[in-house]
Structure 1
């Protein structure tokens, strides 16, 4: 939270004050609150990315980030925004986004293809990726509707020319390397495919009883 340069206030366990001459605040009562894109620059990189991922999660995240980023930003603020998983809804999505970016891929989270939103779209390759949690597919009226919708959604993207890839959230926790390797194989086919090219029960720790009991 920013305060005028000549004023002093004491930090609390929940609020950190600092003096500044130049800031772009939002107002809340008597306080000037720094916009997230600026506040993040006062944190270590890992904490800053967690903060931005939380603030700009969901389908309106990119619009909010764009609104807050108008005007002059520091080089570090721009780097953090480029690294953050804007619009990603869950921790496994964010982990996958970070790994794919590290592999040099351009992507968009919560990308709209036709009438449907996909967790991740690889922008240069026509690949739509969905990260599924097991709870999402439990048997109920709601998830039966989701189950039917997801089939039409996958078919729609396929008919639009996209390669559709789906990964369980638990596999991102347990086998992120294999998930990324499979996605990279769709981007640039390798004549020597990895373990994922064999039946999953032959190598995945979940099926070997070696990993946590979640999908």
Structure 2
């Protein structure tokens, strides 16, 4: 229930968000990281076949006896499938096991990728929606998978370490939002067994910005000093 409440509480923001579509890349895993003062959320996007062949997700969790995906069944709740997807991922936040819980998992047509840049995009992609199921049921090779997870560590600002089940290596696109929505985007390739380290992005202040802030601070200090002198003169 906590997973469902979290999704519903934030889903009201989805309608107000601007959506821009990004083309999904075959075999690439997209990762969005979001932190606040009490939690860490991660969202994964990948071809459904990558989830099965790379992450070891059992195909039967997504498909029916005919090998097709019954969308109606997925719309009833999928956090258990999300947990199964992350089962073989070694995840730590700081020195502790991360304890990520699956929020939801959804599949969408591979040729109709959803926006997947911000945490709100991630929440939208995994939300149970009322979109009609395709007239012709699709197989895993025709679908793209999105999954979301949340953890409540002692220190959400601690570095995240992930070891993905990548027996043949994996290409990643990581979008790390840190605190306050600051975005750092990077592409990398993990060789088999390599860990992914995710530290909180530092906000870099450019030299011109630093000068402006310094001058602004001096003006504020000068104004405060003048105000103090005027107030003293009136006593």
TM-score by shorter chain over 0.5: no
Structure ID, larger Rg: 2
TM-score range, shorter chain: under 0.3
Could you tell me the TM-score, scaled by structure 2's length?
A: 0.26
Q: TM-score, normalised by structure 1?
A: 0.28
Considering fraction of residues, name the structure with more helix.
1
